[in-house]
Chains A and B, each alone.
Chain A
Amino acid sequence: MEVELLEIRQHMGRFAPFDLISDELLDGLAGQVEVAYFKAGTDILTYGQELHEFCYIRSGAVEVHRRNGELYNRLGEGDMFGHFSLLRDQRVRFPARALEDTLIYFIPEAAFHELCEADEHFADFVELERPRLETASEQQKKNNNLMITRVRKLLTRYPLMVEASSTVQHAAQQIGEAQASAVLVLDAPGDNPRYIVRDCEERAWQVRGILTDSDFRKRVVAEGRSPDTPVGEVIVDRLIAIQSDESVHEAMLCMLRNNIHHLPVMHRRSPVGIVHLSDIIRHETHSSLYLVSNIFNQSSAAGLAKLAPDVRAAFMRMVEDDADSRMVGSALSTIGRSFTRRLLELAEEELGPPPVPYCFMTNGSMARNEQTFVTDQDNALVLDDDFDPERHDAYFLAMAQRVSDGLNACGYSYCTGGIMATNPKWRQPLAVWKGYFRDWIDNPTPERLLHSSIFFDLDSVYGENVFVEQLQELVADKAKNSPQFLAAMSRNALNRTPPLGFFRTFVMEKDGKQNNTINLKRRGTAPMVDLIRIHALACGSRAQNSFERLDDIGRTQLLAPGVSDKLRYALEFLAMSRIRHQVIDLHHERTPDNTIEPENVADNERHTLKDAFQALSNAQKFLKFRYGMPTRPLSK
């Protein structure tokens, strides 16, 4: 090994993608490095120059531009550039200039290709054909297939153990001191014991059995044994145990089958812990399924509000179990709908049956099944056309008020834009709603476009579902034949753009400005959802969920082949980043929001996020091109 180049190898080894390549490859790389110093303001790569190496920034900062002079990227210590040219035609496409005094390591083309050949991760990182985004999303999916929680996840501590010769009194004291409820009993290793433990002096013991709280009652006190009885005389010589990589489900079945409440968990032949039935129940109570059934068992709005901490726990659990954004989004939306539905049932119990049929409609993220933990309520009432405001509206206002207040108490804050059924404008009969929707599509104004972007994600929560289905149909049939509306929506969707990426601890904007934080909803998921909605409307899709909309879009010729997949990966990654950062906030007992701070973004996440922003930015450009601008001025 080239000990003397540690200085170079250790530096590169700290940064992606070099952090994951083997020491041997890294040593080979360090030995081939060529070094050059660039004073601030001097060119490192010029457009069209032939290039047979790629660049690694040892210190300083570099700006990479497009040919037209637009800033493409700003890079710092540990970043690489120039490698795209090696994958294409060995010509510089993006000229680079030193922003500060900069030291560059040049790594020759041959070494680059060798690395791509030898290290799959490196190849994934640099290759255009297999973008990072895709592999990152696939990685997430793979983890989900293995999502069955293993029993070892429930273990919190190493099992307590006593020798078989010690007295039951001593064992009871030990259990009491450790605040445990069971202890494993060790004995001299007989012939070929099934489970063994080695103590700190490397002596082997066999695990003979388990002594639990209930054994003291049933086998000691009830049978009149003295406190001096050796533990070995009390226990049963048949130990039921489970391997640590079995599922929680299997552990539960094992306990039920054998009618036991304590189950020792083994890694191969050695004990690693004991699970109690209550551990499993506690685990299950955090699951969203349990939460939903609990919602429907509540008999008051106050009872529902008390479940808010459970929503938080279920959310964190799901993310920690590697659920993807669709699973999290649909689980949280289901929980939100259940709250709404239960509040409506309670309102009907109190107010009596509704005077005319109604459908309670949800809009925005809940309608799309894409809720996260930070969310407000968007809802409305679609009433039967027999609705008479004079006679009926008091009832529906009272109902809307109860639901809206109840949701607010459960953590779904009031909508600041007033998109709630408590607003008389959004508590109207079906015919009026149809009129609204037609008008918004035929005569788009900025305000109507805003309404379209909220209300055209719509779904029924409770009541006469057919009302909302009719509205969904109307939108799907009408919007696709209204090029002027699509053009106006497209223009609107371009108001929120993604940033360029990250530079050191800043968010880089396209004009070179740097910000300390980024709102991942406003700059990432929301504009992405907006543009997917427009394509979905254009192809007449009735899906509400963005991923399902992408499925529909993918079946048409609207986008170039592969583009809808690219958008899917980008949305998944943006959504997951946002969710993960909310969980980080919750862990630190901060109020979760949609903001992420660049210094909390891991190296690989930072690169993938940048790719996702790029995919969004390209898709926005295409939107402008595809739906064009309205040829006639907008009506007032």
Chain B
Amino acid sequence: MSPNGRKKRQSPDWPSYLAARRDAATHPCLKRYFDACTLSPETPIAEVPMVAMDMETTGLDASRHGIVSIGLVPFTLSRVRLIQRHYWIVKPRQPLNRESVAFHHITHSQVADAPDLEVILPDLLEALAGRLAVVHFRHIERPFLDVAVKARLGEGIRFPVIDTMSLEARIHRQPLWARFRRWMGRPPVSIRLQSSRARYGLPAYQGHHALIDALATAELLQAQIAARYTLDTPVGQLWS
């Protein structure tokens, strides 16, 4: 139970995990990354440097599919800094199938000319270091990156993220509220990126570009905090 007696959110003990990885990491890139991971769960969200991340992949299963593109946009609650953005197209070790190509607008030739993730990995880890990752639906970005890094550096990577989709789910998918809507004959509220943004008056962006989706995610978190939390909310209540 949490101090105020309400239901405690299930979130791993990130400080202990990160401290352990800091000591155990052998690859210099990973060592530098974990050395920068010193964020305390008590830190007010307004003071946390963050980075919104989005990936396009060849499928949904990290063990069978690969990463095609990655978009990163560093931000804080007060500003999204586009000038510091990163965008990479990489060549997955698994072949592209036709459906995913249509979905991403990334063509075979673009991918064929792209480097392997290993080439951009130092830059990617450098951009992530010292910043809390923010994603919409954490079950893509984190496992895919873990598998890809393990395949290339021999050791995986896991880290805390703020998942804007699960923040929406906390409101709209709470059992009581969801049951009430079902009882009223309403469909469940969509917690996909575009629908969630629309609820906060954020504009519709054309989807499925990793950089634009990362920007969209950063803006969504700003809106969620402004609407439902305070600047002092400890980051530990938000990450998962």
Chain A residues with a Cβ under 8 A of chain B: 4-5, 7-8, 30-39, 42, 58-60, 100-103, 106
B201 with A32: CB separation less than 8 A: no
- Shortest CB-to-CB span from B114 to chain A, Å, is 14
- Shortest CB-to-CB span from B164 to chain A, Å, is 12
Most A Cβ at <10 Å: residue of B71, B201, B212, B218: B201
Residues on A with beta carbons closer than 8 Å to the beta carbon of B226: 37-39, 42
A39 with B223: CB separation less than 8 A: yes
Residues on A with beta carbons closer than 8 Å to the beta carbon of B79: 34-36, 106
B200 with A101: CB separation less than 8 A: yes
A35 with B215: CB separation less than 8 A: yes
Most B Cβ at <10 Å: residue of A5, A8, A30, A58: A5
B205 with A7: CB separation less than 8 A: yes
The list of the 9 closest CB pairs from A to B, nearest first, reads: A101-B201, A35-B80, A37-B222, A39-B226, A59-B203, A4-B211, A34-B79, A37-B223, A33-B82
Scan B197-227; emit 1 where CB is below 8 A from any A CB, else 0: 0001111011001011001001100110011
B219 with A35: CB separation less than 8 A: yes
Asked if B4 is an interface residue, CB under 8 A from chain A, the answer is no
Residue of B nearest to A58 (CB): B203
Residues on B with beta carbons closer than 8 Å to the beta carbon of A8: 82
Taking A33-B82, A60-B201 as known contacts, 6 extra A-B pairs with beta carbons closer than 8 A to each other, sorted by chain A number, are A4-B212, A31-B83, A38-B226, A59-B201, A101-B223, A106-B79
Complex formed: what's the CA distance from A513 to B83 in Å?
39
- Shortest CB-to-CB span from B228 to chain A, Å, is 10
B200 with A35: CB separation less than 8 A: no
Chain A interface SS verdict (over half)? mixed
Q: Can you give 14 contacting A-B residue pairs, CB < 8 Å? A: A4-B87, A4-B209, A4-B212, A31-B82, A32-B82, A35-B75, A35-B79, A35-B80, A36-B222, A37-B200, A59-B202, A101-B200, A101-B223, A103-B203
Complex formed: what's the CA distance from A101 to B205 in Å?
17
A39 with B82: CB separation less than 8 A: no
- Shortest CB-to-CB span from A70 to chain B, Å, is 27
Chain B interface SS verdict (over half)? mixed
Residues on B with beta carbons closer than 8 Å to the beta carbon of A60: 201
A36 with B80: CB separation less than 8 A: yes
Asked if B81 is an interface residue, CB under 8 A from chain A, the answer is yes
B82 with A7: CB separation less than 8 A: no
Asked if B78 is an interface residue, CB under 8 A from chain A, the answer is yes
Complex formed: what's the CA distance from A59 to B223 in Å?
13
Residues on B with beta carbons closer than 8 Å to the beta carbon of A34: 79-83
Scan B30-61; emit 1 where CB is below 8 A from any A CB, else 0: 00000000000000000000000000000000
- Shortest CB-to-CB span from A15 to chain B, Å, is 14
Residues on A with beta carbons closer than 8 Å to the beta carbon of B201: 59-60, 100-103
A5 with B202: CB separation less than 8 A: no
Complex formed: what's the CA distance from A103 to B220 in Å?
10
Complex formed: what's the CA distance from A511 to B81 in Å?
37
Given A4-B87, A4-B209, A4-B212, answer yes or no on A37-B82 (Cβ-Cβ < 8 Å). no
- Shortest CB-to-CB span from B72 to chain A, Å, is 12
Residues on A with beta carbons closer than 8 Å to the beta carbon of B75: 35
Residues on B with beta carbons closer than 8 Å to the beta carbon of A102: 201
Residues on B with beta carbons closer than 8 Å to the beta carbon of A37: 200, 202, 219, 222-223, 226
Complex formed: what's the CA distance from A428 to B227 in Å?
74
Residues on A with beta carbons closer than 8 Å to the beta carbon of B222: 36-37
Complex formed: what's the CA distance from A264 to B218 in Å?
64
Residue of A nearest to B200 (CB): A101
A32 with B83: CB separation less than 8 A: yes
